[in-house]
């Protein structure tokens, strides 16, 4: 098998808001190119890309998937991505390994929330963009309105390269404004019949063609002179300038299409191969050296040293772990040995696969510019690099955003805790947007994700693949306890059991420390009232009581303890007796020292449209938030505030509701401060009730 020429490869992510028809479009592309015999349906779960049970059940793409088609002797690699906000990180990560994208918009709903987020990410990465007004066969679909909305929201480079023939349910073809030919579709083959432009659309087509020529000419210095002087611009010149404008991120062609009826798909394919940049068009990339000492050039050349980025990990019940890989340079065969700079270990490439949804085909080799799957690698994770050991580089991995919602989880079946932990760790390799941790203070296993739907999907996968189930609970806030004044108390432990007894007696004084100064133990014993060998036992008893808390079961912090007196028995005293005495003394002293609860306060940053700022500020205030500042970020606005963690546990769905899904937030721990008295009483009562149940 010969390698695919990098100049004949188009790597394209298919992105858009949920419900814009991405999976249906890929289905149409596969059918039109002959890669699939019939059109599948999202509704009945027969599409190539949505083969996962969760995707079929929820009628939406959940995980990025890979497919490919051949058209006009060119290879088009397609990455199908989720549009639902809960899984948008999958799409964001995929944009880093392609030269172009197809941005779908629902022709009825037009520009939606995720459209803008994905568009900005693509612009930041310099990814070429092609727009598809899908669902032109729907009621109230209007191509002119779609183009106007796209221009208003996404910029002046938006330019139609085709017009629809027919409206709504009568949509039956497209007019190619480059060739000025009409294409009509009488079946679902996706291949239109070429003909003349209908007479009633001729004037509209000519006006749109003039607008296209003007817009494309503006992006090319040589053409703009010809245009202004009234000279004719040939088709080849126009196509060449369009291609250059798309590659430069100055022009964004728009086509009308109906994926489920397969109308206009062949025009999209032609635009992909004629206007989208190949890896060779984009050229060499600057990539960090593996040792961090600088950067080097990685060129799309099969003869250069190998450099591969791993951008996605999936698990297949038959093939095991599969890593989706973009080959930026060099070429590999099944027995290639490469270096993983993260681990410092060598990896044998093993099975090289071409993927068509869940179906795979073995490849003997693959080269620069291509996107393939690698099966059964030893220790490779999403974001890793595979590189020539003699020329080690390491690609910058996509940084997944912080999780927005967290739950405590407990195994439904007693004894399944280890199974749950192992299963979730395996799933986190497949989904880096998921976070798993053990909360040291509350001893809860915490799972975090971008939304409740995200977490529920993870748990469904765990049940189906690993046969274990869990229950979700709101996580307990890691409160702490401290004191506000000095106090002294005696701890006396005396027990007679017939033989040798137990005796320990100590006096301690406690006083508050400044916030964050921690625990200090002072040995102030003089005269031998407590033998030196027992003093560490007193400290140990104090520390153990601090860890389990006094008033509500939360750790006690920022306290100084001074051991200043006591007594002992020459026979009955022991380390255990003095440990118990130290524990009793500390608990009594805390109760007399005006104890209070402390709560974690977070630094919160909310980014949302300016129009929502009033609602967001009011909501944060209702959560006991204190504003810390704000700034404008173009159409968006950032608000910073300090808010108690207890008030943020349910914030994610509320923010989504207030902003129509356009808002996002991050938070990090800043400090602890006292809980207001009326809230502390309730927290203490709940803690005592929980202890009784345990």
pLDDT, tens digit (0-9, with 9 covering 90-100), for 182-199: 999 999 999 999 999 999
Say whether pLDDT at 433 is over 90: no
pLDDT tens-digit readout, 639-661: 999 999 999 888 888 888 898 87
What is the rounded CA–CA span in Å between residue 24 and residue 15?
Answer: 12
Tell me how crowded residue 644 is: count the other CB atoms within 10 A of its CB: 20
Residues of the chain with CATH 2.40.30.10: 285-387
Q: Do residues 80 and 40 make contact, with C-beta atoms less than 8 angstroms apart?
A: no
Say whether pLDDT at 494 is over 70: yes
Q: What pTM does this model have? A: 0.78
Fold of 598-679: Alpha-Beta Plaits (3.30.70)
For residues 209, 211, 215, 216, the Cα torsion angle rounded to the nearest 10 degrees is 10
Q: What architecture (CATH level 2) is domain 481-594?
A: 2-Layer Sandwich (3.30)
Fold of 8-282: Rossmann fold (3.40.50)
| Strands 559-567 vs 520-523: parallel, antiparallel or unpaired | parallel
For residue 628, give the 3-state DSSP assignment.
strand
Residues of the chain with CATH 3.30.70.870: 405-473
- What is the separation, in whole angstroms, between the first and last Cα of the chain? 66
By C-alpha distance, which of 361, 340, 311, 316 is closest to 81?
A: 311
pLDDT tens-digit readout, 282-338: 999 999 999 999 999 999 999 999 999 999 998 866 667 899 999 999 999 988 999
**Residue 461: which H helix or E strand, with range?**
helix 452-466
Question: Which superfamily does 405-473 belong to?
Answer: Elongation Factor G (Translational Gtpase), domain 3 (3.30.70.870)
> Which residues lie below 8 Å from residue 181, measured CB to CB, with a gap of 6+?
175, 194, 195, 196, 197
Q: Do residues 648 and 605 make contact, with C-beta atoms less than 8 angstroms apart?
A: no
pLDDT of the residue at 694:
62
Residues of the chain with CATH 3.30.230.10: 481-594
Residues of the chain with CATH 3.30.70.240: 598-679
pLDDT tens-digit readout, 348-390: 998 899 999 888 899 999 999 999 999 989 889 899 999 999 9
Q: Do residues 352 and 398 make contact, with C-beta atoms less than 8 angstroms apart?
A: no
User: Angle at Cα 125 formed by Cα 121 and Cα 131, nearest 5°?
Assistant: 60
HSE-CB of 617 using CA atoms within 13 angstroms: 13
Average pLDDT value for the chain: 91
What is the rounded CA–CA span in Å between residue 331 and residue 388?
Answer: 10
Q: What architecture (CATH level 2) is domain 285-387?
A: Beta Barrel (2.40)
- What percent of the chain stands above pLDDT 90? 62
Contacts of range 680-686, beta carbons closer than 8 Å, 24 or more positions apart: 680/596, 680/597, 683/479, 683/552, 683/597, 684/551, 684/552, 684/597
What is the rounded CA–CA span in Å between residue 525 and residue 531?
Answer: 9
Q: Do residues 634 and 607 make contact, with C-beta atoms less than 8 angstroms apart?
A: no
């Amino acid at each position: 098998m010969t390698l695919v020429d990098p100049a004949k490869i188009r790597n394209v992510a298919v992105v858009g808001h949920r419900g814009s028809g991405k999976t249906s479009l890929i289905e149409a592309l596969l059918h039109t190119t002959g890669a699939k015999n019939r059109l599948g349906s999202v509704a009945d779960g027969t599409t190539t890309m949505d083969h996962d049970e969760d995707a079929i059940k929820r009628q939406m793409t959940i995980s990025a998937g890979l497919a490919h088609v051949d058209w006009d002797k060119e290879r088009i690699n397609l990455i199908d991505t989720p549009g639902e906000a809960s899984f948008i990180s999958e799409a964001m990560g995929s944009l880093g390994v392609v030269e172009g994208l197809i941005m779908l918009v629902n022709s009825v709903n037009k520009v939606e929330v995720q459209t803008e987020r994905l568009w900005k990410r693509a612009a930041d990465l310099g990814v070429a963009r092609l727009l598809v007004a899908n669902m032109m066969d729907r009621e109230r679909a209007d191509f002119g309105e779609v183009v106007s909305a796209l221009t208003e929201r996404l910029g002046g480079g938006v330019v139609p390269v085709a017009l629809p023939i027919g409206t709504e349910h009568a949509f039956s073809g497209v007019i190619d404004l480059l060739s000025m030919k009409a294409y009509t579709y009488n079946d679902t083959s996706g291949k239109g019949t070429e003909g003349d432009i209908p007479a009633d659309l001729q004037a509209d087509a000519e006006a749109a063609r003039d607008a296209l020529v003007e817009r494309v000419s503006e992006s090319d210095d040589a053409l703009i002179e010809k245009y202004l002087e009234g000279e004719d611009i040939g088709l080849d010149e126009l196509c060449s300038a369009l291609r250059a404008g798309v590659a430069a991120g100055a022009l964004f062609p728009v086509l009308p299409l109906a994926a489920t009826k397969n109308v206009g798909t062949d025009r999209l394919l032609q635009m992909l191969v004629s206007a989208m940049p190949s890896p060779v068009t984009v050229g060499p990339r600057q990539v960090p050296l593996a040792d961090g000492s600088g950067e080097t050039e990685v060129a799309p050349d099969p003869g250069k040293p190998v450099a591969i980025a791993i951008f996605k990990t999936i698990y297949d019940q038959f093939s095991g772990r599969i890593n989706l890989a973009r080959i930026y340079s060099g070429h590999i065969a099944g027995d290639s040995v490469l270096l993983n700079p993260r681990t410092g270990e060598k990896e044998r490439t093993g099975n090289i696969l071409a993927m068509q949804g869940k179906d795979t085909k073995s490849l003997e080799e693959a080269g620069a510019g291509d996107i393939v799957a690698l099966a059964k690698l030893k220790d490779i994770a999403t974001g890793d690099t595979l590189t020539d050991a003699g020329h080690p580089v390491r690609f910058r991995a996509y940084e997944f955003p912080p999780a927005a919602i967290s739950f405590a989880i407990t195994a439904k079946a007693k004894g399944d805790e280890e199974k749950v932990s192992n299963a979730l760790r395996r799933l986190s390799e497949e989904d880096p947007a998921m976070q798993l941790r053990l909360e040291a203070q509350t001893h809860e296993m915490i799972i975090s994700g971008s939304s409740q739907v995200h977490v529920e999907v993870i748990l469904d996968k765990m049940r189906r693949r690993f046969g274990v189930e869990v229950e979700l609970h709101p996580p307990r806030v890691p409160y702490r306890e401290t004191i506000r004044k000095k106090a002294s108390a005696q701890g006396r432990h005396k027990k007679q059991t017939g033989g040798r007894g137990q005796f320990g007696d100590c006096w301690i004084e406690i006083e508050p420390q400044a916030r964050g100064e921690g625990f200090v133990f002072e040995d102030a014993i003089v005269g031998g009232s407590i033998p030196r060998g027992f003093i560490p036992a007193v400290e140990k008893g104090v520390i153990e009581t601090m860890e389990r808390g006094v008033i509500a079961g939360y750790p006690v912090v920022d306290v100084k303890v001074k051991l200043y007196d006591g007594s002992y028995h020459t026979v009955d005293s022991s380390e255990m007796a003095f440990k118990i005495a130290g524990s009793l003394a500390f608990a009594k002293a805390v109760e007399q020292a005006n104890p209070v609860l402390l709560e974690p306060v977070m630094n919160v940053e909310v980014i949302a449209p300016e129009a929502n700022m009033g609602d967001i500020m009011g909501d944060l205030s209702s959560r006991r938030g204190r504003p810390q500042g704000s700034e404008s970020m173009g159409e968006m606005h950032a608000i910073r505030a300090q808010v108690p963690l207890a008030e943020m546990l349910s914030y994610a769905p509320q923010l989504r509701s207030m902003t129509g899904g356009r808002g996002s937030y991050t938070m990090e721990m800043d400090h602890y401060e006292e809980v207001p008295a009326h809230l502390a009483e309730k927290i203490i009562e709940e803690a005592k009730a929980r202890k009784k149940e345990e």
